[in-house]
Structure 1
């Protein structure tokens, strides 16, 4: 399992529910095509699941020490 996830906002939040806008902001995304790398936690997975129709998600593999 990946330690981190790269999320990219591919659709606009204009006209979306306030809760969905809050999830997008909570993931560190500001505008269309912005990306953020977030830690793979159940909380972040829940936010990603809620607004998955707005996002592109990629797993980022980190090298093990």
Structure 2
């Protein structure tokens, strides 16, 4: 399975509680933090919900 890197580009300040829970589930706590995940539909769905806050990095 391929892996993707997700980077938190914008701050969590001003986000809704649901968006904060999604970021917590990804383990992204501070700006510019990068985490690696297996490319699954569940991870892609979480990224889609907070796409304005995160970026997929090569």
Q: What is the TM-score of this pair, normalised by structure 1?
A: 0.81
1:54 maps to 2:53: yes
Q: Which runs of 5+ in 1 are unaligned?
A: 60-65
Give, in angstroms, the shift of residue 15 of structure 1.
Answer: 1.2
How many aligned positions are there?
58
Map 1:12-27 → 2, pairs under 5 A: 12-27=11-26
Q: CA–CA distance in 2 between the matches of 1:35 and 1:25?
A: 13
Q: CA–CA distance in 1 between the matches of 2:48 and 2:6?
A: 12
Bigger Cα Rg: 1
Q: Which runs of 5+ in 2 are unaligned?
A: none
Q: CA–CA distance in 2 between the matches of 1:47 and 1:11?
A: 16
| Runs of 4 or more above 4 Å deviation | none
